[in-house]
Chain A
């Protein structure tokens, strides 16, 4: 089992460009999350999903959109990237005992 995978691992964008981060899981978990990790700020929740076709806002949702068209995939989109979105993005799923499992992360730099 691959667990939680994220694509891409690294990306550099120019201000105003758009991109989509893909999170895929093979654990059949209902709940999926997108976090960002910044120095001195810790991990903060961007958006989450409690099942296929559902999404909800987290603590820092502005500038991001998400979609959960298939149970195994959770997409995070940046429509118009800003330097403030330079961060490491982590996807996570939640298992039956409410334990969260994280992907390896995507390092995004916005110039």
Chain B
């Protein structure tokens, strides 16, 4: 059974710092991996989608990498800002059994000014 783990569960950094959030998954047979942002009491906003054939995707200050063979993805946030404070969720779409995402429990990021 596919399991997705995100470490650390929480992270606090000062403004301006570059940071990396980690995501690992147990089964490399995935269709794609998606990173989301969730603000308190809100829905999920898609940040980056990496197809299984891709190694990385970039959007602004965000860069996500995928190493399918080792079951790992990282989300790199450059020059962090207080507005980046949120929970970041990683999710994989397995090949088997339907088309739903399997989510990690998230990393809650706090950026202080």
A61 CA / B47 CA spacing, docked (Å): 28
Tally of B interface residues using CB under 8 Å: 22
Given contacts A40-B105, A99-B49, contact A50 B99 (CB under 8 A): yes
CB of A77 closer than 8 Å to a CB of B: no
CB of B65 closer than 8 Å to a CB of A: no
B32 adjacent to A98 (CB under 8 Å)? yes
What residues of chain A lie closer than 8 Å to B44, measured between beta carbons? 90, 92, 102
CB of A74 closer than 8 Å to a CB of B: no
**Within A25-71, which residues are at the interface with B (CB < 8 Å)?**
31, 33, 40-45, 48, 50, 56, 58-59
Q: Besides the contacts A44-B103, A90-B43, A105-B43, what 18 more A-B pairs have beta carbons closer than 8 Å?
A: A33-B100, A40-B105, A43-B89, A43-B91, A45-B100, A45-B101, A48-B99, A48-B100, A58-B98, A59-B100, A97-B51, A98-B49, A98-B93, A100-B34, A101-B46, A102-B43, A102-B46, A104-B43
